[in-house]
Structure 1
Amino acid sequence: MKKNKLLLGCIADDFTGAGDIASFLEKGGLHTLLISGIPEHDDIPDDVGAVVISLKSRTAPVGEAVRDTLESVRYLETHGCITYYIKYCSTFDSTPAGNIGPVLDAVLEYLGETYTVLCPSLPINGRTVKKGILYVDNIPLSESGMKNHPLTPMWDSRIKVLMEGQSPYPCIVLEREYYSRPKEEAEVFIESQGCGHKHYYVVPDYEQEEDAVHIIQLFSQLKVFTGGSGLAAAYARYISAKAGNRSIRREGIKAEGPAFIAAGSISKATLGQINYYKEKGLSYYKISPTALWDRSETAETIWNDIKRILTEQMRSVLVYCSESQDDIVQGQAFGRQEFANLLEDTLAQLAERAAAEGICKIIVAGGETSGAVTKKLGYKYFYVGESVAPGVPVLIPAESPGRRLILKSGNFGQADFFIRSLEMTKK
């Protein structure tokens, strides 16, 4: 039986988002266990202060997303969880029907909480909120690359508008002027705006890293936080200090041999990382969208080509399908979701073959692809190591402690991300 209560339980809407927030919680001083999928009711190690549960609820049917989230909340309750954090993407990825609104409504209703914050900001990665408007690298969300997202195109930059389209409960915009006032003034303002509503949401300004401390001080009484990972490190420091500075252990990130790298994302950042990697003269394999769709290229044929590089020449290899807008258009012409599913499954099969051949390092770009890979590999529990980029930690599967996984959201990481990953994990 676990001796300590779980200080924080986090539920993330995809795997890379879970790794993202886990890395900041670890940085903030909470030893963190990442669990893929709805956990079974097993014990959590005594030295773990935070658990992050990774779901695949971002684009799941609304009812399924709500059901899985509440089941995860109940699991965390059985382990004495003190506070909860519902983590979604820093670009508020959702459709007009959800899933952020319905999921958060259900959590507030289940836990009996009146309100919580909507805080997607992650300033270190260019996500900020000013006067209720979400910006991506200083560009309003609906004018950024997210306006053309294949699954969750963003049609507005105002969080209040986005959320109230998904939830019957109102949103209150809290501008930064309240950070310099006594806490009581902000509380009076929020209560006056929320008066008469069973539940509601508060959207605080968050433009700079130090704003996280102000937000945590203002809302320290809340049992539920929601947002991206921007609050995570500061909140971890706050609750670990409150609990007596529970110490954490550091996980080693080095491993022998080459890496299998799979890029399923079509984000601008990932396309830049692919091109940077290729410019350095490193090994790669480009999948033809047409050949993949008509099955003249399969996981088996691709593996036959890359196995020699990985296992005989002992060199890392990058496998990808899109490096330009033309490739993206070509793939999506076959059906956006259908082609995405086919590519994810192919890359996951390749990762499985690489692992079976003894490849210890697997690097994946793309949230959905990362989820497919971890599911195929069959790992469920992960410890969190040093980060390659903000929000992208090296993960160590508890079931295979000699293996290292680096799984990133498409938009994360600098141009040299793949090469940095190889260098940092080199033994």
Structure 2
Amino acid sequence: MAVLGCIADDFTGASDAASFLAAGGMAVRLFSGIPEGEAEKGRIKEWLYGGTPAGGDTGAALVVALKTRTQPAGQAVRDSLAALRWLRNQGAGQFYVKYCSTFDSTPAGNIGPIADAAMEFTGSPYTLLCPSLPVNGRTVAAGHLYVNGVPLDQSPMKDHPLTPMWDSFLPALMEPQSRWECLLLERACLSYSRETVEAGLIKKARNLGLDRFYVVPDYGNTQDGERIAALFGHLPLLTGGSGLLEPLARSLTGGGKAQETREGEYETGGGGGCDRQTGVFTSSPALLLAGSCSPATLAQIAYFESRGGIAKKLEPALVLDRSPEEAAQSLWRFLENHRSQPVLIYSSETAQQLQATRKLAGGRPLSPLLEETVALLASRAVERGWRRLIVAGGETSGAVTRKLGLNSYDIGASVAPGVPVLIPPQFPELRIVLKSGNFGQKDFFFRALDITGTPESSNRREEM
């Protein structure tokens, strides 16, 4: 059985990757960090190769969520190589380095160093640099990365609080990060045979004196993804966003097809879905947490409140004046008072509000305090019977999952492209939804409540 090993730069990125692999027909298990202990190794081996192998005759994928997105490059490389070695030891014969579809890097970023190290680890002379995710508006043309048709450096990502975007031309973004150059592959070449494309790339690299290189293909629609997977799916190493993972999984397994539906809904076919088991959640409370300051998340919060959703802002002053434990206790009283309905707790702010908050903080690191507070709140909620957690924002999601102490997840149905329901095998009645800040429709929170419970339990407000 073929095993694909994938590393991702944060937890929401890993769940994003896992959802597309599942949609393509692979059996998938997601891990929060590198699993430790012989017992865990035994469970993984049993899942992969036991009486009823997870991947059957088609294949399985192991996805490891790291914290490398904003780490110093040296540490990010060390953690990535450790994860790749662990995946190889579990039987992975092919590897995927997954990063954000809006690239999320700076001149001193770590996408290039990690990809370079992975190329050396696998002995690959070249690999893809493929951040496209067309279903969410991320496309590449002539080496430039676009977000909903707008060049990356002119999109809202230019103001990202952690990784502001300074260019949209991928070779320029990679130049200060990587030891190797990028070769562009135009859309017309995607119709050629694998042999013709590979021969042309190697000839061009030889003429330029390149011993290793990256290929940046045009990728603007589903058909492009299918062709890219057919041309390069045999390589021992691939790097990119999640957009390539579904066609890659289908090319490796012959799994079910994914399709966009009306209003951007997303359905999966093949080996990735799970039963909703809605009856389990009819009366189970739901806690929603948002820390992302992306325009998409801000719009989702506004929509939730406009439809009568119960919400409370975690004010920066609360965590600056009190310990995270005290701040969480203050929020807990609000949550308990509204136990019968879904409650949204958010710290998300607009760019203008963030400026005022930074001034208020006076240089004190605020994000870790906010993340620790909501993580404590989530942990207490689960202890007291909450069985649905919906979290918006990569850093917030990572803090919550670490606090819960859960280290592996099976992949359920998708709320939106790249946002699956996660089911921990060690806590199978719990349903967790984690999303990257920019993902999801404006009614995302209501969709997540519906898919993890029932329309009655989610208290959805229909659009007027």
TM superposition score normalised by structure 2: 0.86
1:279 maps to 2:306 = yes
Residue 220 of structure 1, CA deviation? 3.0
Residue 87 of structure 1, CA deviation? 0.2
1:389 maps to 2:389 = no
Q: Which residue does 1:409 correspond to in 2?
A: 436
1:213 maps to 2:240 = no
Q: Which residue does 2:235 correspond to in 1?
A: 222
Q: Which residue does 2:374 correspond to in 1?
A: 347
Per-residue deviation, residues 328-360 of structure 1 (Å, max 9, x unmatched):
223233268821111111111111111111100
Which of residues 213, 223, 245 is equivalent to 1:232? 245
Q: Which residue does 1:203 correspond to in 2?
A: 216
The CA distance in 2 between the partners of 1:60 and 1:398, in whole Å, is: 29
Residue 208 of structure 1, CA deviation? 0.7
The CA distance in 1 between the partners of 2:201 and 2:2, in whole Å, is: 31
SS at match of 1:71: helix
Q: Which residue does 2:335 correspond to in 1?
A: 306
Q: Which residue does 1:113 correspond to in 2?
A: 124
Per-residue deviation, residues 94-149 of structure 1 (Å, max 9, x unmatched):
12122100101111111111110000000000000000000001000011111111
1:28 maps to 2:24 = yes
The CA distance in 2 between the partners of 1:375 and 1:124, in whole Å, is: 29
CA contact (8 A) 1:321 1:327 kept: no
SS at match of 1:284: strand
The CA distance in 2 between the partners of 1:369 and 1:319, in whole Å, is: 12
CA contact (8 A) 2:272 2:412 kept: no
The CA distance in 2 between the partners of 1:155 and 1:187, in whole Å, is: 31
1:9 maps to 2:36 = no
CA contact (8 A) 1:38 1:68 kept: no
CA contact (8 A) 1:16 1:367 kept: yes
Q: Which residue does 1:318 correspond to in 2?
A: 344
Q: Which residue does 2:166 correspond to in 1?
A: 155
The CA distance in 2 between the partners of 1:327 and 1:261, in whole Å, is: 21
1:372 maps to 2:383 = no
SS at match of 2:254: helix
The CA distance in 2 between the partners of 1:186 and 1:113, in whole Å, is: 17
**Partner AA of 1:172 in structure 2:** L
**Partner AA of 2:93 in structure 1:** I
Higher mean C-alpha deviation, range 35-44 or range 226-235: 35-44
Higher mean C-alpha deviation, range 89-98 or range 333-342: 333-342
Identity of aligned residues (%): 49
CA contact (8 A) 1:273 1:418 kept: yes
**Partner AA of 1:122 in structure 2:** L
SS at match of 1:156: coil
Higher mean C-alpha deviation, range 340-349 or range 181-190: 181-190
The CA distance in 2 between the partners of 1:323 and 1:279, in whole Å, is: 17
Pairwise mapping of residues 54-65 of structure 1 onto structure 2 (< 5 A)? 54-65=65-76
**Partner AA of 1:415 in structure 2:** K
Per-residue deviation, residues 350-385 of structure 1 (Å, max 9, x unmatched):
111111111000000000100000000000010000
In structure 2, relative to structure 1, the CA distance for the partners of 1:413 and 1:336 (3 Å cut) is farther
Q: Which residue does 2:266 correspond to in 1?
A: none
Q: Which runs of 5+ in 1 are unaligned?
A: none
Residue 156 of structure 1, CA deviation? 0.5
SS at match of 1:338: coil
Q: Which residue does 1:251 correspond to in 2?
A: 274
**Partner AA of 2:153 in structure 1:** S
CA contact (8 A) 2:7 2:65 kept: yes
Per-residue deviation, residues 307-335 of structure 1 (Å, max 9, x unmatched):
2212xxx1110001235444322323326
Moved over 6 A (4+): none
Residue 388 of structure 1, CA deviation? 0.3
The CA distance in 2 between the partners of 1:362 and 1:165, in whole Å, is: 40
SS at match of 1:347: helix
SS at match of 1:298: helix
In structure 2, relative to structure 1, the CA distance for the partners of 1:369 and 1:249 (3 Å cut) is closer
Residue 249 of structure 1, CA deviation? 6.8
Higher mean C-alpha deviation, range 249-258 or range 411-420: 249-258
CA contact (8 A) 1:274 1:323 kept: no
Q: Which residue does 2:389 correspond to in 1?
A: 362
The CA distance in 1 between the partners of 2:249 and 2:20, in whole Å, is: 8
The CA distance in 2 between the partners of 1:327 and 1:362, in whole Å, is: 26
In structure 2, relative to structure 1, the CA distance for the partners of 1:157 and 1:82 (3 Å cut) is same
Q: Which runs of 5+ in 2 are unaligned?
A: 49-53, 256-269, 455-464
In structure 2, relative to structure 1, the CA distance for the partners of 1:174 and 1:251 (3 Å cut) is same
Pairwise mapping of residues 326-341 of structure 1 onto structure 2 (< 5 A)? 326-333=352-359, 334=361, 338-341=365-368
Q: Which residue does 1:80 correspond to in 2?
A: 91
In structure 2, relative to structure 1, the CA distance for the partners of 1:262 and 1:79 (3 Å cut) is same
In structure 2, relative to structure 1, the CA distance for the partners of 1:335 and 1:208 (3 Å cut) is farther
Residue 305 of structure 1, CA deviation? 2.0
Pairwise mapping of residues 45-194 of structure 1 onto structure 2 (< 5 A)? 45-46=47-48, 47-48=54-55, 49-194=60-205
Aligned alpha-carbon RMSD (Å):
1.8
Higher mean C-alpha deviation, range 299-308 or range 205-214: 299-308
The CA distance in 1 between the partners of 2:305 and 2:153, in whole Å, is: 31
The CA distance in 2 between the partners of 1:319 and 1:239, in whole Å, is: 41
Residue 299 of structure 1, CA deviation? 1.1
